[in-house]
Structure 1
Amino acid sequence: MLKRMVIMLGVVGAVFAALAWFVNFRSGMIRQALASLADPPQTVSTVKASPSEWQPKLTAVGSFRAVNGADLALQLAGIVDKIHVESGKDVAAGDVLLDLRKEDDVAKLQSLQATADGFAITLKRDQGQLKINAVSQATVDSDLVNERNALALVAQQQAVVDQKTLRAPFAGRLGVRQVDVGQYLTAGTTIVTLQALDRLYVDFNLPQQAIDQVRVGQEVSARVDSYPDQAFKGQVLAINSKVDQTSRNVQVRAIFDNAQRKLLPGMYVLIDVAVDKPSNYVTLPQTAVVYNPYGNSVFLAVKGAAGKDALVARQSFIKTGLTRGDQVAVVSGIEPGATVVATGQMKLRNGTTLKIDNAIPVANDPNPKPVDQ
């Protein structure tokens, strides 16, 4: 009986020992699995925090317009008789562009001129007769009035004839003409546009807070989509004498030389007005910054614990400043040369092991340009 009890106790002890070993073995496996799942390496891309020069500037939008530009029309109606120039050609001031039919007007002008010539002859004859008292002074005075009236009618009719000829009011380049020979035109119908392209204006608006940062003669830079790699230089020509009461903006006019005729009136333009002096800031891609209400931060890629070569994430709070394109200026919180996580930081926390993959470049252009698809 005693022997049987000893055997049973041994069996029970062995069972408990086996259970304890199994529990410890499973616990170890679970701890290893949890440890491996707790902080797996995260794939991110990184950039070096480097200083660069920042020029504070004001940016506005506007449109080019010619210093001299007009849609040309005639103030009299008529039928187009002759067109003397082609669309898109350069013309000089005073060049004849178009004639309306004016035979009747010319004939009337000749008739009035003949009448005026007749009155002039009569006046001259009566002035000779007056010297020998053959006519009275009243007759000579009447002849003089008749001549002046006739000459006034001639001048009036000459103006009508001249108004049926369209001349270039200034030198410039013609646009596409809108009329053809034989077409009847009403008064004021646009015939062609004429633009002087040597110099162009840009009118743009700035907030009233910027008035003390802009002055006449200050340099401005213009960017247009047609020439994405070129900046056109101009200068402030005038600042409006009042602020718009609705928008609280002030209108500014800049002038640009356009000797190469690359720019055209009506083009949409971005205007940059440089203000203050350039400054140096640590510069990062905007994708590297985690923006939060309690403060902005970045994740740095730093070496792990002693004896380990793996890089780990360390969060650092920063103060950001100006932005330009894909970049943001860092005022404080990071030193030049630091390795900063540029993408993938949303899955990081302090101490997360990092796997660096910079195969795909990060957007980091101060003046990004849209790509046509």
Structure 2
Amino acid sequence: MNKRFPEHSNYFLIFYSTVFCLSMFSCGSDSDESIKPEIKSITESVYASGNIKAVDQYDAFTNASGPIQEIFVQEGDSVSIGTPLLAVFSEREKLSRENAEIAKAYAGLQANQSRLRDLQLTIDVNKSKMQNDSLLYVRQKALHDQNIGTEVEFEQRKLNWENSKTAYESALIRYNDLKREIEFNSNSASKNLAISKVLESDYVLKSKINGKVYALLKERGEMVTPQVVLAVLGSADKFLLELQVDEYDIAKVKVGQEVSVSMDSYKGEVFKAVVTKVYPIMDTQTKSFTVEAEFSIAPPQLYPNLSLEANIITEVKENALVIPRGYLIADSLVINENEDTLRVKTGIKNYQFAEILEGIDASTVLIKPTL
């Protein structure tokens, strides 16, 4: 017997280890903390943190570089689409716009009317000469048909008429060419002026929305670049919640779910919101998804960037068989009054309770395990 004992020693060790582990949950339990499962409603939720944002809130940038020449608004001002916020000084763009204005004035139709009138006079003169030479040619031809006059006189009249006709047609062509050239130059100058004004307008930062100026981040005279945020704008009276949800919970979140919201600025109060949008991409740095919600019951006063904590209610079940989470071991075991370890199947869970689907009923007496 002594020779066989060593080969079975490992089995004895496993047996006593198992008994020891179970005794931690059963023998050490406090019988005074016995309960029975309850029939009640249970709510499952997903935790999220985030901030308040004004609807259409955005950071305003300029396309220009240079010192701020003028600031036209103050923080808290109401603005509409196209309202100038500030101007960045640029001597180069100013000179470019002035040069384009000069070019447009020089190339305009009004400025070139004298050139067109000069050609029009040439056309009128050539037309009169052509008509006169045509009349003389017709007369000479009539005489020539009657064998009156010389052949040289007839050919000369014919040649004069053809030359004056060619001169008239040439003047018409030059007039039309000049008119097209003037119109092209005028249109081109107008386009160049419009481009210069657009480029110069890039140096004037304008509002993209009807809303409110929440922040002006630079002062007059400060140098700015296209990478620098100059102002923060957003809706004056409409706000939303921007929530960050962990990647492990995002699959449970759906549009339309109710959200319970608490904020440091309204301690002890809970407000209601509804999920309106789930962004379908994860931030790889924070391992979280962005979820938007709108208040259904909102605080009396809100400001952008207020911090908040929220619970997105993912499921509510009425008349569920539940036990406190403290009576559940590894989400699958409980201990009854006889200190037997029973396996259970759980449903939805929250921080306080867990739903029991199988394994025990409402008459089962449970004791709380102690670790």
Name the TM-score class by shorter chain. 0.5 to 0.7
* CA offsets 1:273-317 (integer angstroms, 9 cap, x no match): 434x62323444434x16379931255xxxxxxxxxxxxxx6576
Question: Which residue does the alignment assign to 2:229?
Answer: 190
**Which residue, 111, 115, 122 being the options, matches 2:111?**
122
> 1:239–1:250: 8 Å Cα contact kept in structure 2?
no
Between Structure 1 and Structure 2, which shows a larger proportion of helix residues? 2
Contact 1:220–1:234 (8 Å) recurs in 2:
yes
Query: Paired residue for 2:198?
Result: 159
In structure 2, the CA distance between the partners of 1:93 and 1:265, relative to structure 1 (3 Å rule), is: farther
Query: Could you list the per-position Cα deviations for residues 150-179 of structure 1 after superposition, in whole angstroms to 9, with x for gaps in the alignment?
Result: 222211221132111111111344343221
1:324 and 2:350 correspond: yes
The question of 1:220 aligning with 2:258 is answered yes
SS in 1 for 2:59: strand
Where structure 1 has 5 or more consecutive residues not aligned to the other structure, the ranges are 1-41, 300-313, 348-373
Q: 1:294 to 1:45 in 2, by over 3 A?
A: closer
CA distance in 2, matches of 1:294, 1:114: 85
Q: Relative to structure 1, is the Cα distance of residues 222 and 133 closer, same or farther in structure 2, using a 3 angstrom cutoff?
A: farther
Question: C-alpha separation between the residues in 1 aligned to 2:50 and 2:118?
Answer: 71
Q: Kindly report the root-mean-square deviation, in angstroms, between the aligned alpha carbons of the 2 structures.
A: 4.4
What corresponds to 2:274 in structure 1? 234
Quickly say closer, same or farther: Cα 1:91–1:339, change in 2 above 3 A.
Answer: farther
Q: CA deviation at 1:53?
A: 0.6
Structure 2 residue 72 is the aligned partner of structure 1 residue 84: yes
How far 1:191 moved relative to its partner?
A: 0.9
Instruction: Measure the CA separation in 2 of the matches of 1:152 and 1:291.
Output: 77
SS of the residue 2:215 aligns to:
coil
Q: Secondary structure at the match of 2:219?
A: coil
- Does 1 or 2 have the higher relative contact order (CA < 8 Å, sep 6+)? 2
| Structure with the greater alpha carbon radius of gyration | 2
Once residues 203 and 193 of structure 1 are traced to their aligned partners in structure 2, the CA distance between those partners, rounded to angstroms, is 21
SS in 1 for 2:68: strand
The answer to whether structure 1 residue 59 and structure 2 residue 59 are counterparts is: no
Whether the aligned pair in 1 keeps the contact of 2:36 and 2:362 (CA below 8 Å) is no
State the match for 2:146 in structure 1: none
After TM superposition, the structure 1 = structure 2 runs for residues 284-299 of structure 1, keeping only pairs within 5 Å, are 284-287=323-326, 289=327, 291=329, 295-297=333-335
2:186 alignment partner, one of 133, 147, 153:
147
CA-CA distance at 1:75 after TM superposition = 1.0
- Count the aligned residue pairs: 279
Q: How does 1:35-74 map to 2 (within 5 A)?
A: 44=32, 50-55=38-43, 57=44, 59=46, 61=48, 63-64=50-51, 68-74=56-62
Q: Deviations over 1:209-264 (max 9, x none)?
A: 94xx776x533325344356324322344674xx88x9xx9968544248756374
Is 1:335 aligned with 2:323?
Answer: no
